[in-house]
Structure 1
Amino acid sequence: MSFSLENKVAIVTGGASGIGKAITTRFAEAKAKVHILEFNEEHGKQAVAEIEANGGSAFFHQCDVSDHDQVKSIIDSIALDNKIDILVNNAGIAHVGNVENTTEEDLDRVYSVNVKGVYNCIYAVVPHLKSNGGIILNMASIASSVGISDRFAYSMSKGAVLTMTYSVAKDYLDDGIRCNCISPARVHTPFVDGFINKNYPGKEAEMFDKLSKTQPIGRMGKPEEVANLALYLCSDEASFITGTDFPIDGGFIKLNG
């Protein structure tokens, strides 16, 4: 079955690289009109150009999701000409470290994007969804529900995303707003390659293999696999699903150890 988003308007934050780009590409293929909220202007414009070259419909909005007023202004402007149907909160940043080597500045930086950024987008979009219903899909992580070494700030932030998902789903049941989240394990994105290149020069292949094997299934996930799940959860075929976390983790949570 090919899930359709025809005549749907979708907002995807961080939609120009990695998992976010895979989601915007997949949504455009499913005939959604996609609005990409992205901090990096070059990446955002390139993503739109690629979607349009393949016959899709996409628009770029340069946005810092941690800026409350900017997020609200952009989403309100989109709503002037469109009935918003879908919000995907994908924008996020990572941090490596335990509590002792996580500075206050580190914590604030992660919180501002991964937690406040999700709040800002939900706060701005909910008034536009209440009249006709709609879908909010948040990107959490397996780190939101299991312990991951040296990911203190990141795990904290994704735990907040998970519980925000439950809260929003409960609060807006009567408004026809569905809210779910996806919790990926390690997915092979440019971020992973950059992390390996920076921290393990000369041992890139060895570390890539080692990180891949931390997933019980024996490999990292692909951005397109997460995008396919996102497409289903944002389609009408998933209309009975809300308040649910969907691990996509190669067996990490249930089979590790």
Structure 2
Amino acid sequence: GIGRATAIKFAREGASVVVNDIDKCANDVVDEIKKYGGNALSSVCDVTKRNEVRGMINSAIKEFGNIDILVNNAGITRDALIHKMKEEDWDFVINVNLKSVFYCVKEVAKYMMNNGGKIVNITSISGLTGSIGQFNYSAAKAGVIGLTKSLAKEWAKYNINVNCVAFGIVDTRLTKEKERAGTIGLPKKIREMYIESIPLKRMATTEEAANTILFLASDDASYITGTVLNVTGGLYI
């Protein structure tokens, strides 16, 4: 998905990358990076748990000496109409999509406040417009936008740029056409309807998503902070 494409893109540009996931899938990405001579470290961390996030950051510092860029890309959905939504589904989505960002920026603070850096948070068009059946997800992603803007104001004096990317519909395994017996993906008609609603008439590729994140993390974006960069193919104008 977006995380894999971003990790590979950064590594190809010469960055040493920590690839984190909730399971050992991160190992596959690290192996791919190392095959072409890139430098990467695999991490298995639940970003909703403060102690695990601290361990991940400590491992990064031990391996690479500093953290220059933080990309907060963890995301999950558990959709339901508000009157049918379970409290545990509300809590889980808020924790993964929003609280994890709080934990990660807290843990990199002491390093970036001394040396500067770039933070790119991943939000969604749902955080800008709302989305039926995504009461929890929309609230979390709107929260990421508010967090980004506040942090940009607080940390500008430390030469830390904080921005976020609001993606529309990206072509990942979650938006592929669902197989008949599958649990992941979109039904064919729903997928076609989504694509038709996009002015550019296609989903973003994960490579396009990664390019956007790389731009905000690069020196080319050195005077950009507190910004929400919309990458929606014209869906949000």
Tell me the TM-score range normalised by the shorter chain.
over 0.9
Match of 1:212 among 195, 203, 224: 195
Counterparts of 1:196 and 1:144 in 2: how far apart (Å)?
29
Structure 1 segments unaligned to the other structure (5+ residues): 1-17
Q: Deviations over 1:55-74 (max 9, x none)?
A: 21111010000000110122
Counterparts of 1:36 and 1:249 in 2: how far apart (Å)?
25
Counterparts of 2:178 and 2:69 in 1: how far apart (Å)?
31
- TM-superposed CA distance for 1:35, in Å, is 0.4
1:4 aligns with: none
Q: Deviations over 1:177-217 (max 9, x none)?
A: 1100000001110112276754799x944333222112121
2:173 aligns with: 190
- TM-superposed CA distance for 1:133, in Å, is 0.2
Counterparts of 1:199 and 1:107 in 2: how far apart (Å)?
21
Match of 1:91 among 74, 97, 100: 74
1:229 aligns with: 212
- 2:158 is equivalent to residue 164 of structure 1: no
1:241 aligns with: 224
- TM-superposed CA distance for 1:95, in Å, is 2.2
Q: 1:79, 1:128 within 8 Å by CA — same for their partners in 2?
A: no
- Name the CA shift for 1:71/1:146 in 2 (closer, same or farther; >3 Å): same
1:66 aligns with: 48
1:121 aligns with: 104
Report the TM-score, using the length of structure 2 for normalisation.
0.94
Match of 1:139 among 118, 122, 126: 122
RMSD value, Cα: 1.8
Secondary structure (helix, strand or coil) at the match of 1:93 reads coil
Q: 1:196, 1:208 within 8 Å by CA — same for their partners in 2?
A: no
Match of 1:54 among 36, 59, 76: 36
Secondary structure (helix, strand or coil) at the match of 2:115 reads coil
- TM-superposed CA distance for 1:111, in Å, is 1.2
Counterparts of 1:129 and 1:172 in 2: how far apart (Å)?
9
Counterparts of 1:215 and 1:149 in 2: how far apart (Å)?
17
- 2:206 is equivalent to residue 253 of structure 1: no
- Alignment coverage as a number of residue pairs: 235
- TM-superposed CA distance for 1:98, in Å, is 2.2
Structure 1: which amino acid aligns with 2:170?
V
**Sequence identity percentage:** 35
- Name the CA shift for 1:204/1:114 in 2 (closer, same or farther; >3 Å): closer
1:79 aligns with: 61
Counterparts of 2:50 and 2:139 in 1: how far apart (Å)?
21
Stretch of structure 1 that moved more, 229-238 or 70-79: 70-79
Match of 1:40 among 20, 23, 30: 23
Q: 1:89, 1:139 within 8 Å by CA — same for their partners in 2?
A: yes
Secondary structure (helix, strand or coil) at the match of 2:120 reads strand
Structure 2 segments unaligned to the other structure (5+ residues): none
Q: 1:200, 1:207 within 8 Å by CA — same for their partners in 2?
A: no
Q: Deviations over 1:49-91 (max 9, x none)?
A: 1111122111101000000011012202322341110000001
Secondary structure (helix, strand or coil) at the match of 1:247 reads strand
Counterparts of 1:100 and 1:196 in 2: how far apart (Å)?
29
2:136 aligns with: 153
Q: 1:64, 1:70 within 8 Å by CA — same for their partners in 2?
A: yes
